[in-house]
Structures are given as structure tokens and as C-alpha cells.
Amino acid sequence: MRIVILGAGTGGLTLANRLARLIADELERSRAEIVLVERRKDHDYQPGYLMASFGVRPLAHYRRSVRPLVHRRVRLIEDDVRKVDLDGRRLRGETETAYDLLIVATGSVPDFRLIPGLDAEDVRRPDAGFGTFYTAEGAEALARTLEAFERGRIAVVVASPVHKCPAAPTEFALLLDDLLRSAGRRRRVEIVYTSPLDQLNLLEALDAWARPEFHRRGIEALFSFVPVRADVARRRLFAKDGRTLEADLIVVVPPHRGADVVRNSGLGDEAGFLPTDPETLAVAGRDDVYAVGDATDLAFPVLKAGAIAHFQAVVLAQNLAHRLRNVPTPYRYDGRFLCFVDDGFASSAFIRYDRHHPPRTATTGGLVHAIRQAYHELYWLGVRGLL
């Protein structure tokens, strides 16, 4: 049996490496083959973009070559797959890759063009008045902008509820406040945070935890602000309800969509996300295709986050091993989620929940922050299937 995993992000790498350990005997006897297909040579630890945007560490610290992260029994193919042929069970790119079982782990893509008037290039230029920490280039540019920002108004704009790392925008606003205070610039800088919802964050537990912090620190919050147009030259955003936001620096959390290969293959919904069973992770209508991580169309409480991709990969690896051996596949993804949230550069909290336990925010403190800092480095063991 040939198991092909498309995408070497958090979910794809974790799945490939865990499965390789679970079916080591079958791989050794050539009864099975695991193929990992990825177009990029490097793998980014994407929460590192947030840290890099504040100059905590250079972006290179959060980037590793893909190949050394892949188990020796997994075949890595570097290819830019443009289409999935479900009928022929093939991936079509520069080459063709056949499969018996396919796992789509292509993630999600920030798309600034979904805000008319805005483009990815606009958030890469430190002098443009717009920035982001949702791309590598954007994070590097934002670090330079924040370092030189002395006075004025900074707006943190969450354009859509659909984006990676659900806690990151709230976290960014709190870290920005901490950065400016420690630099002696906070009194000269106004911070405003906009949400497309009637709360700060999709996670009510995080909203309840963050609102008092925003109030205490003097961070203004604007709710139900849905951007529909940008005027980059005038540093303005226009909302669906007619409101206008103007700032000296607008940090955008852009809407996200599915990967081009999913959209080009006609596999997903209008946004390019795959209809996926929330427990088995099978793609709707298929017994030979699965999806993990951001590539799925699963909605709240299943969010687009690396932790969810990890937990899904753990479950799916176990079921694939069972399926290969023609035994029942009893494991189910239970909606498990865990996320650290920095409220300063020396303090963190974390949120956890699953289908049987409601979201809960743990106490903020230095110990949690130390654990969070350790996880930044332990992440690489996780994607190698060792944690």
C-alpha cells in the first residue's frame, strides 16, 4: 500500500514521522510505502513569525530544512503539485505521484487580496503604513517598523474569523503594549484592536481573559469591524457597516483560504477547504482520502492551529496503521486543542479544551511562560514524531 501525504507542514510532517514508526515492520518488508510530497525546501515554525515581528529572535531561528526532519523510511518528493486526480489516484505536478491512500495536509494561505485595495506587497514595505506577522517577509518588515515607531496610532485588525493561530492577534496586541512600555514609548502610542466579531476572539474563554487586560492597559477595542476595502496611500480601512479606521500603522491579520492545489482540483468548498469528518478525518464521499490541519473545512471549536494539526495527525497515524493491517480503526479525534498565549515578554497563559471539556484559560504567570519558551524549541521534536 502506498500512502501519500501532500504537504510537509505541522500536520503532514507529524503524520509521516509517527506513521513511519508505527508501521516500521511493514516498511522494512516493503509491504507499505510512505511518500511525503512538498514543494518547499524549508519548514517554518509559524508561531515564530509573531516572535520575529518583535525582534525576539531572527526568522532563521524558526526555520529548518525539511529533509532532516523526515524519518529515514519516508520518501520525500520535492514537487509543486498543481492538481489531484481522484479518479486516477494521482498527484500531478512536475512529475506524477500515484497513491493508494492520500492525506491532504496543505494548510491554509493568508490572502490579503480578499481585502480589496490591499496586496501582500503592501505589508512587506516598512514605510507602507500596513504590516503583518502572518507571513515570513511581513514579520521581518514589521520588526523594522516597530523598532522605529516613536509615536502615533497602531491598529491591529483581524479581518476574518478564519485565520491561523486563533489566539495570535490578541497576543500580538498585549505584546505590543509590553514592548512599548518597556521602551518608554507607550504614552506616545495609541493601540486599537478590531474584531469582526462582537467579542475580542472566537474563543470565549480567551475573550473573557483578555478583555480586562485590554481595559487595564488602555487598548481600545472595536467590535464587528469587517474590512471591505483598503486605502493604502491614506492608511485607511473601510468597514462593511460604513465605519472608517485610520492609523499610522495598520497590522493586518488577513483572511485565509485553502491551498491552490485544492481549489484547482475542485475538491474543496468555495474557500478551498476540504469537507472532512470531524472524528475520522476522512474527506466526504471518499474512502481513500483524508485531511488534517488547516486544509479541512472544520469550524469552531476545531480551529486552524498547529496544535490541532498535531493532535489530528496522532489519531490518523494510529488509524492508518490499523487500516494497513486490516483491523478496525477505533481512534477518533476528540477536538483536542491547546494554545499558549503570551500577555507579556515574561508571562504567559494557556487555553485547552476538547469535545468533553469546555475551553479554560489557565492562570497567567512566569512558570507557564517558561514552559511556552521551552515548547518553541521542543516543536521540532513534535514534528519528527518524538513527542
- Nearest alpha carbon to residue 354 among 339, 376, 374: 339
Specify the range with the lowest mean pLDDT, choosing from 15-24, 169-178, 263-272: 263-272
Rg for the chain, CA atoms, rounded: 21
48-74: average pLDDT: 97
Q: Which amino acid is at 173?
A: A
- One-character DSSP codes across 296-332: B---TTS-S-HHHHHHHHHHHHHHHHHHHTTS-----
Whole-structure pTM value: 0.96
Q: Which amino acid is at 368?
A: V
Domain ranges in the chain? 2-107+259-336, 112-255
Answer CATH for 112-255 from 3.10.20.30, 3.50.50.60, 3.30.565.10, 3.30.300.30:
3.50.50.60
Mean pLDDT of the chain: 96
Query: 246 has which bridge partners?
Result: 236
pLDDT of residue 250: 98
- Nearest alpha carbon to residue 3 among 35, 30, 45: 35
pLDDT of residue 364: 76
- Nearest alpha carbon to residue 133 among 54, 245, 236, 229: 54
How would CATH label the architecture of 2-107+259-336? Answer: 3-Layer(bba) Sandwich (3.50)
pLDDT of residue 128: 83
In three-state secondary structure terms, 7 is: coil
Residue 367: count other Cβ atoms within 10 Å of its Cβ.
11
- Nearest alpha carbon to residue 77 among 40, 22, 32, 105: 40
56-62: average pLDDT: 96
73-86: average pLDDT: 98
Torsion region of 375: left, alpha or beta (phi above 0 gives left; psi -120 to 50 gives alpha): alpha
**What percentage of residues in the chain have a pLDDT greater than 90?**
92
pLDDT of residue 272: 96
Using the predicted structure, report yes or no on whether residue 22 has a pLDDT greater than 80: yes
Using the predicted structure, report yes or no on whether residue 278 has a pLDDT greater than 90: yes
pLDDT of residue 259: 97
pLDDT of residue 168: 97
Using the predicted structure, report yes or no on whether residue 138 has a pLDDT greater than 90: yes
pLDDT of residue 223: 98
Q: Give the model's confidence band at 127: pLDDT under 50 very low, under 70 low, under 90 confident, else very high.
A: confident
Q: Give the model's confidence band at 42: pLDDT under 50 very low, under 70 low, under 90 confident, else very high.
A: very high
148-152: average pLDDT: 97
**Segment 177-218, tens digit of pLDDT:** 999 999 999 999 999 999 999 999 998 999 999 999 999 999
**Segment 361-387, tens digit of pLDDT:** 877 788 889 999 998 999 999 999 998
pLDDT of residue 359: 87
The reply to whether domains 2-107+259-336 and 112-255 share a CATH topology is yes
